[in-house]
């Protein structure tokens, strides 16, 4: 693995900051969520946004696509949505005496899956191959998706009527789960003070990076150094989730790999060519909260995955070698 130069590190930091600042023009007071969403995309992951309606979940996904000049599509999940409505379908052309494949909305760079938990399990599962293998198989023929590719799924955790909870196997495909939360008072005043915008008006945000820039950023993170002792620290956290008395299903090996992917990008976003323990602490919650299944006793006691993970992070000691180095 080649060492990153100062020029490479500075370029990544500048480009990452430009993207974050550009998106912040339309989503005020949510810089940490914006940065995590960008970390997710640069890490070639998928994002699950779980929050109440009207807090900017769909706007965030659209703003990421527009900032990079990428193609985006939106799928409104409903109980009657079919897998072919997502992946596409082959239609017979009588004049040519052949079948023609009509691509579905999943053939985009940023796919917004709105209210994904309102789709049937069969339709939800249609995204599994897409998210994991970046391809769609229709009529036995695989069709690759053009990179970069990211699914941004949203769900409302409050109104659960007529919904189908995502299975653990599909939740594990999301690199991160975030909550947008309500804006602070000053940010809400700034939002309400904007000029009126007509319904259906296009999002006004400029393009500040290209597809090639995103590919370069992803390649950059592959070269960020992660010391073996830091890998051991991550492994200790993963193991602790499986042993905690409030957890019935702990984090999988895929979750550990996801943390390391996010850690590398987090380090690059801080302008470093190497990862430190704080990078792990900054990414564990968004990467692991949706991957833990709590015991029924813990749920009755109103425990949360965030609370359990915070306990685990407090109990797992940072290796002394890392403390000495950083």
Domain endpoint, select from 208, 241, 259: 208
Quote the tokens at residue 115. 């209210």
Check residues 144 and 158 and name the one with the higher pLDDT.
144
What DSSP line would sit under 61-87, residue for residue? HHHHHHHTT--EEEEE--TT--HHHHH
Among residues 184, 208, 232, the one where a domain terminates is 208
Comparing 234 with 96, which gets the higher pLDDT?
234
Residue 8 within any structural domain of the chain: no
Q: For residue 108, with 0-12 CB atoms within 10 Å meaning exposed, 13-18 middle and 19 or more buried, which class applies?
A: buried
Task: Classify burial at 314, counting beta carbons within 10 Å of its beta carbon; exposed 0-12, middle 13-18, buried 19 or more.
Answer: exposed
Whether residue 218 is contained in a domain is answered as no
Co-location of 43 and 183 in the same domain? yes
Gyration radius of the chain over CA positions: 21
* Domain endpoint, select from 208, 241, 271: 208
The reply to whether 41 and 165 lie within a common domain is: yes
Mean pLDDT over 93-109 rounds to 88
Q: Per the domain annotation, does 253 fall within a domain?
A: yes
* pLDDT for position 281: 94
pLDDT for the residue 49: 92
Which structural domain range is residue 246 located in?
224-326
The reply to whether 242 and 181 lie within a common domain is no
Asked whether residue 106 falls in the same domain as residue 188, the answer is yes
Does some domain include residue 213?
Answer: no
| pLDDT category of residue 197 using cuts at 50, 70 and 90 | low
Q: What is the CATH number of the domain that holds 228?
A: 1.10.8.80
Asked whether residue 288 is assigned to any structural domain, the reply reads: yes
The count of structural domains within the chain is 2
pLDDT (tens digit per residue) in 110-143 = 999 999 999 998 888 888 778 888 988 877 788 8
Do both 49 and 164 map to the same domain?
yes
């Amino acid at each position: 693995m080649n060492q990153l130069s100062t020029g490479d590190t500075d370029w990544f930091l500048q480009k990452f900051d430009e993207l974050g600042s550009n998106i912040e023009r339309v989503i005020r007071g949510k810089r940490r969520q914006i940065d995590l969403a960008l970390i997710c995309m640069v890490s070639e992951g998928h994002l699950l946004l779980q929050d109440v309606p009207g807090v900017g979940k769909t706007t965030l996904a659209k703003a990421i696509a527009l900032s990079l000049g990428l193609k985006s599509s939106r799928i409104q999940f409903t109980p009657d949505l079919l897998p072919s409505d997502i992946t596409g379908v082959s239609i017979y052309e009588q004049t040519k005496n052949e079948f023609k494949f009509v691509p579905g909305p999943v053939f985009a760079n940023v796919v917004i899956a709105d209210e994904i938990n309102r789709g049937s399990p069969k339709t939800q599962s249609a995204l599994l191959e897409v998210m994991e293998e970046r391809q769609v198989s229709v009529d036995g023929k695989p069709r690759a998706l053009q990179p970069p590719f990211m699914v941004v799924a949203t769900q409302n955790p409050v109104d659960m009527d007529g919904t189908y909870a995502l299975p653990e196997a599909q939740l594990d495909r999301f690199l991160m789960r975030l909550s947008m939360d309500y804006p602070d008072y000053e940010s809400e005043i700034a939002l309400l003070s904007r000029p009126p915008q007509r319904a259906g008006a296009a999002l006004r945000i400029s393009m500040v990076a290209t597809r090639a820039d995103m590919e370069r950023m992803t390649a950059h993170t592959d070269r960020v150094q992660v010391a073996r002792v830091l890998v051991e620290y991550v492994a200790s956290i993963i193991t602790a989730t499986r042993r905690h008395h409030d957890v019935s299903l702990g984090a999988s090996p895929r979750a550990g790999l996801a943390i390391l992917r996010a850690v590398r990008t987090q380090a690059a976003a801080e302008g470093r060519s190497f990862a430190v323990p704080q990078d792990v602490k900054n990414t564990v919650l968004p990467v692991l909260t949706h991957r833990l299944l709590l015991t029924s006793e813990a749920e009755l006691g109103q425990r949360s995955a965030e609370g359990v993970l915070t306990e685990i992070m407090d109990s797992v000691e940072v290796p002394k070698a890392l403390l000495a180095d950083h």
